[in-house]
Amino acid sequence: MAGAGLSLGSCSDGSGPPDPSARAALPQPATLLAGGASLVAAGAASGMLRYNGVAPGPTIRARRGEQAHLRLINQLSDATIVHWHGLIVPSHADGHPRDAIPAGASFDYAYPLVQRAGTFWYHPHAHQETASQVHRGLAGFFLVGDGEEDALALPSGPREILLLLQDRDDDPSSAFMYAPTAGDLHRGLLRGTAYGNVVRQPTLTVSGGRYRFRILNASHARVYRLALSNGTALTVIGNDGGLLPAAAQVNDVWLGVGERIDLLLDFTNVAPNTRLMLQSLTFDAPAEAGEAAPQGMAMDLLELVRSGANGASGPALPAALSDVTPLAAPAAERTFAFSSQGDVHRINGLTFDIDRVDVSVPLGQVERWTFRNETDLPHPVHVHGTHFQVQTRSGGRNTVYEYERGWKDTVLLMPLETVDVLIRFAEYRGLFLIHCHNLEHEDHGMMLNVEVT
Ligand code: C2O
Ligand code: CU
Ligand code: CU
Say if ligand 1 is within 6 A of residue 444 CB: no
Closest atom of ligand 1 to 125 CA is: 2
123 within ligand 1 shell (Cβ under 6 A): yes
Q: Which residues surround ligand 3, an ion (CB under 5 A)?
A: 379, 436, 438, 441
Q: Is the CB of 382 under 6 A from ligand 1?
A: yes
From the alpha carbon of 410, which atom of ligand 1 is closest? 1
CA angle at residue 192 from 191 to 193, to 5 degrees? 110
Q: Which pLDDT value is given to residue 57? A: 98
Residue 10 has pLDDT above 60, yes or no: no
Q: Is 441 in the pocket of ligand 1 (CB under 6 A)?
A: no
Q: How far is the CA of 307 from the centre of ligand 2 (A)?
A: 38
In 3D space, the residue among 220, 210, 64, 254 whose CA is nearest the CA of residue 144 turns out to be 64
Ligand 1 contact, 88 CB (< 6 A): no
Beta strands across the sheet bearing 410-413: 359-361, 447-452, 430-436, 379-383, 410-413
Residue 75 near residue 40 (C-beta atoms within 8 A): yes
Q: Is 86 in the pocket of ligand 1 (CB under 6 A)?
A: no
Per-residue pLDDT reduced to its tens digit, 275-288 = 999 999 999 998 88
What is the Å distance from ligand 3's center to 192 Cα? 20
CA distance 228 to 270: 12
With cut-offs at 50, 70 and 90, classify the pLDDT of residue 298. very high
Which residue's CA is the nearest one to ligand 1's atom 3?
85
Radius of gyration of the chain (CA): 22
Taking only the tens place, the pLDDT of each residue in 375-412 is 999 999 999 999 999 999 999 999 999 999 999 999 99
**Residue 12 alpha carbon to ligand 3 centre in Å:** 46
In which band, very low, low, confident or very high, does the pLDDT at 157 lie, cut at 50, 70 and 90? very high
Report how far residue 92's alpha carbon sits from residue 96's, in angstroms, rounded to the nearest whole number. 8
The bound ligand whose nearest atom lies closest to the alpha carbon of 125 is: 1
Of the chain, the percentage scoring pLDDT greater than 70 comes to 95
Distance CA 23, CA 223 (A): 23
Q: Measuring CA to CA, how many Å separate 32 from each of 37, 58, 62, 123, 213?
A: 7, 6, 9, 15, 19
Instruction: Please say if the pLDDT value at position 1 is more than 50.
Output: no
**Mean per-residue pLDDT of the chain:** 94
Distance 83 CA to ligand 1 centre (A): 7
Distance between CA atoms of 167 and 150, rounded to whole angstroms?
A: 33
Answer whether 125 contacts ligand 1 (Cβ < 6 A).
yes
21 band by pLDDT with thresholds 50, 70 and 90: low
Q: How far apart are the C-alpha atoms of 211 and 230, rounded to whole Å?
A: 17
Kindly give the number of the ligand 1 atom that is closest to the alpha carbon of 86. 1
The answer to whether the CB of 163 falls within 8 A of the CB of 213 is yes
Task: Kindly report the protein residue whose alpha carbon is nearest to atom 1 of ligand 1.
Answer: 85
Give residue 287's pLDDT. 82
Of all atoms in ligand 1, which is nearest to the CA of residue 447?
2
Q: Which numbered ligand comes closest to the C-alpha of 381?
A: 3
Indicate if ligand 1 lies below 6 Å from the C-beta of 435: yes
Q: What is the pLDDT of residue 422?
A: 99
For residue 214, give Cα distances in angstroms to 230, 389, 395. Answer: 20, 21, 29
Cα 232 to middle of ligand 2, angstroms: 32
Q: What is the pLDDT of residues 69-125, one digit of tens each?
A: 999 999 999 999 999 999 999 999 999 999 999 999 999 999 999 999 999 999 999
pLDDT digits (tens, 9 = 90+) for 310-341: 998 888 899 999 999 999 999 999 999 999 99
Q: Ligand 1 within 6 A of 433 CB?
A: yes
| Residue 22 in this model has a pLDDT that exceeds 90 | no
| Contact yes or no for 75/42 (Cβ under 8 A) | yes
Strand-by-strand arrangement of the 418-424 sheet: 344-347, 332-341, 366-373, 418-424, 388-394
d(CA 152, CA 41): 36
Residue 8 confidence (pLDDT): 32
pLDDT in tens, 33-56: 999 999 999 999 888 999 999 999
Burial class of 332 by CB neighbour count within 10 A (0 to 12, 13 to 18, 19+): exposed
Query: In this predicted structure, what is the pLDDT of residue 19?
Result: 58
